[in-house]
Amino acid sequence: MEAVLVSLTTKLERPPWLRAPAPSGENYHELKRLVRELNLHTVCESAACPNTGECWNRRTATFMLLGNVCTRRCGFCAVQKGAPLPVDYDEPRRVAEACAALGLKYAVLTSVNRDDRQDGGAELFALTIQAIRERIPGCKVEVLVPDFQGCREAMEIVMNAHPDVLNHNIETVPRLYRQVRLGARYERSLDMLAYAKCLRPFVPTKSGLMLGLGENISEVEQVMRDLRAHNVEILTLGQYLRPSAKHLPIIRYVPQNEFDGLKRLGYEMGFSHVESGPLVRSSYHASDAVESPSA
């Protein structure tokens, strides 16, 4: 497949190889009901993930802590922006209840950015990890954390709760940070990943990028090298999909063969697990990286 260039003035349909089935099925509707009843948020819905139907039918979801309103205005993200919601200290209990109802053996937690809080929301990550472990002994927990504005004390709070995987997405190449990750810094994100590894050397660290925002292949390869230099072991690569006309445009649809090439390169660089494809997202098949890592 050849890459598809997208005009900035003309809206083109997605290529046929970049379409996910509409969400449906008994498990999907059961999980949707459960999320509503427990007053929880998922990044699946808030970020308009294309894999919601597939993942929810597998009875997996990524729970989003600290509300569904983000304090940052990243140009790629569909999550609502604005004044953050009050912290709900009962949320960890309800997330654990949902995990138990779903019979999860592997839970994934993330959050909106909470730059209004000194710890960036780290306390709620720790409390939720603890609540899940108390409710479901043996359940593994992966956390996808923000950069905490570089606050190392916040990362210490999370890592001291002993997550099974620490994920922080680098998102894009350094050249595009001002357009894509408003308020974030490339070197700061790398430092936080490295510090997490320093705190808990045996906990796998993970990161991911979106492609199609205007980066070139050499820039992507350099980011991959930077991640490995900072001891990141798990990598996800996926296609950026524009949530609305208000968000950053898609510059290019990246074909599967390029994702396959980057996957091979990732293993050559020493990543223990690489998920690479147009519909891949940071939590896609998350447990596979821990339970059965393979090239």
> The tokens of 125 are what?
């990550």
- Flag whether pLDDT at 236 surpasses 50: yes
Higher-pLDDT residue of 144 and 22 is 144
- Flag whether pLDDT at 40 surpasses 70: yes
Higher-pLDDT residue of 98 and 59 is 98
Average pLDDT over the chain, rounded to an integer: 84
In which band, very low, low, confident or very high, does the pLDDT at 7 lie, cut at 50, 70 and 90?
very low
Quick: pLDDT tens for 118-143: 999 999 999 999 999 999 998 999 99
Quick: pLDDT tens for 265-286: 999 999 999 999 998 888 767 7
Q: Is 59 within 8 Å of 29 (Cβ atoms)? A: no
| Residue 41 pLDDT | 77
Quick: pLDDT tens for 163-215: 999 999 999 999 999 889 888 999 999 999 999 999 999 999 999 999 999 99
Q: What is the rounded CA–CA span in Å between residue 184 and residue 170?
A: 9
| Residue 46 pLDDT | 46
**Which residues are bridge partners to 5 per DSSP?**
252
In which band, very low, low, confident or very high, does the pLDDT at 248 lie, cut at 50, 70 and 90?
confident
Q: Write down the CATH number for the domain with range 31-291.
A: 3.20.20.70
Q: Is 114 within 8 Å of 156 (Cβ atoms)? A: no
Q: Is 207 within 8 Å of 235 (Cβ atoms)? A: yes
Q: Give the least confident one: 36-40, 148-152, 284-288.
A: 284-288
- Flag whether pLDDT at 68 surpasses 50: yes
Which residues are within 8 A (CB) of 51 and not within 5 positions of it... i.e. 6 or more apart? Answer: 20, 44, 279, 281, 284
Higher-pLDDT residue of 68 and 139 is 139
